[in-house]
Amino acid sequence: MSVFTVINPATALPIREVARASEDETDAAISRAVVAQRSWASLPPVARADALRSFARVVEAHIEELAQLEVLNSGHPIGSARWEASHVAQVLNFYAGAPERLSGQQIPVAGGLDVTFHEPYGVVGIIVPWNFPMTIASWGFAPALAAGNAVVLKPAELTPLTAMRLGELALLAGLPEGLFEVVTGSGSVVGQRFVSHPEVRKVVFTGSTSVGTDVAAGCARELKPVTLELGGKSANIVFADADLEKAAASAPGAVFDNAGQDCCARSRILVERSVYDRFLELLEPAVQAWRVGDPADEATEMGPLISASHRSTVEGFLDGADVAFRGSAPSGDGFWFAPTVVLAGPADRIAREEVFGPVVAVLPFDDEADAIRLANDTIYGLAGSIWTENLGRAVRVSRGVKSGVLSVNSHSSVRYWTPFGGMKASGLGRELGPDAVEHFTETKNVFFATDAS
């Protein structure tokens, strides 16, 4: 059996070897999921709900273990990692309420009764990225299981450890063998097999837009539904009437959280020209105070980048860039990178392409229309923030910016009880929110004739 080595990004040292599944091994996991799904879907809704609540309780009992694994494997600060593990339990608890509420409709018709049913797809393939291994996995597997599907989940090769442990915890919680299969390996083998295998009836992919395009094309050939959550180049728009101190203090967390390895990162700060200089004066001390260091340290706000190759990619974005100021980062072993603020124009590469690292471009704008134009001047449309004390402006700009998730006077993007997803090259479909379970079902329409004649 082929294996790959998992590396600790804070030390650059190997952690362990993990199996790289072959196509035959992937097919075997899918076959087990097919069998498990049939009995799972036949359970009373209350039984599926109870099983998901049991899974949530087991996750809650292992939050510290999962968090420590994420620190080791992903370099996430321990405080963030604990939140992420807790989030998995919360998502499971939220969707545990869905099986008993997955109701169809009764539609008025002449001569009979017309009703709809939500039927599970069967087996759902979920392909998870390396930046948020636990949380993004749960956004797919929790509603998919709640809807009566089985799940085959492929974690990223760089960060498989928490997904593997969640698979073990699912069995510990009493979920049937084969219902939640975690298959480690390469995207070109495991992920591609999710796309091409006829028994995988829906694919959920989170990752780069380029790979997501290939996944969508493959699913189209199979006439297979797909949900895509892809890249971003989100704008943080700061108007002159905003609370500038609060906006500047919030900006580092909006882009440097998880070392900027976040599709929702507000990696462009658009500032009204009349307060541009003042905003930069306020931003500099906030950036330099951002604590980068050992992810196991309770005080750390940002850990390392995920790999040496990714650090090289991020460094390449600074070639020829106008760096205004930087924070600090450890030297030596590990894939460290200091938070960086760059002054940019709309045509600059740093202002147009997704860096996926702790680098933010600051650009001035002239008025409300100019802010909307700049915010939309990108292929992406995932997230963004708007800072203003003018409610009317907040409504106008939020309607004008073409992004799936926006916040006003905040940089919050994700709540498991509200929809999440992008527009344009940032994605297809929506995750989370109360309707997410329906996205893992097919609607069946049945007409019952009652006319005696």
Q: Which of 426, 430, 433 is nearest to 234 (CA)?
A: 426
Q: Which residues pair with 166 in a beta bridge?
A: none
Of the CA atoms within 13 Å of residue 408, those in its CB half-sphere come to 13
> Helix, strand or coil for residue 343?
strand
Residue 42: pLDDT over 80: yes
Look at residue 277 in the predicted model and tell me its pLDDT: 98
Q: What residues contact residue 65 under an 8 Å CB cut-off, 6+ apart?
A: 165
d(CA 340, CA 287): 8
Strands 13-19 and 106-107: unpaired
Per residue in 249-296, pLDDT (tens digit) is 999 999 999 999 999 999 999 999 999 999 999 999 999 999 999 999
The answer on pLDDT for 138 being more than 80 is yes
Instruction: Assign 219 a pLDDT band (cuts: 50, 70, 90).
Output: very high
Residues 6+ apart with CB under 8 A from 47: none
Mean pLDDT along residues 376-402: 98
pLDDT of residue 452: 72
For 409-424, how does the pLDDT look when each residue is reduced to its tens digit (9 = 90+)? 999 889 999 999 999 9
- Mean pLDDT over 320-347 rounds to 97
Q: Phi and psi at residue 103, in whole multiples of 5°?
A: -95, 145
* Structure confidence at residue 220 (pLDDT): 98
Closest CA to 260 of 325, 317, 205: 317
Model pLDDT, residue 453: 62
The reported pTM is 0.97
pLDDT on residue 222: 96
For the residues 19-38, what does the mean pLDDT come to? 98
**Structure-block tokens of residue 269:** 């700060």
Q: What percent of the chain has pLDDT over 70?
A: 100
User: Which tokens hold the place of 277?
Assistant: 């200089």
- Dihedral sign for Cα 189, 304, 319, 249, please: positive
Average pLDDT, the chain: 97
Three-state secondary structure call for residue 19: strand
Give CA separation, 215 vs 144, 193, 394, in Å: 19, 11, 36
Give the whole-number percent of the chain exceeding pLDDT 90: 98
Calculate mean pLDDT across residues 10-39: 98
pLDDT in tens, 52-90: 999 999 999 999 999 999 999 999 999 999 999 999 999
Query: Residues with catalytic annotation?
Result: 229, 263
Region of residue 148 (left: phi > 0; alpha: psi -120 to 50; beta: else): left
Ramachandran sector of residue 207 (left: φ over 0; alpha: ψ -120 to 50; beta: rest):
left
Listed residue (408, 420, 435, 384) closest to 87, CA to CA: 420
Which residue(s) pair with 8 in the sheet? 13
What is residue 379's three-state secondary structure?
coil
- The whole-number pLDDT of residue 167 equals 98
Q: Where are the alpha helices (H) located in 62-124, listed in sequence order?
A: 63-74, 78-95
pLDDT, tens digit, 9 for 90 and up, residues 114-126: 999 999 999 999 9
Q: How confident is the model at residue 432 (pLDDT cuts 50, 70, 90)?
A: very high
Apex 129 CA angle, 128 and 131, nearest 5: 130
Identify the pLDDT of residue 239. 98
Which residue in the block uniquely carries the two structure tokens 């980068």? 292
For the residues 387-394, what does the mean pLDDT come to?
98
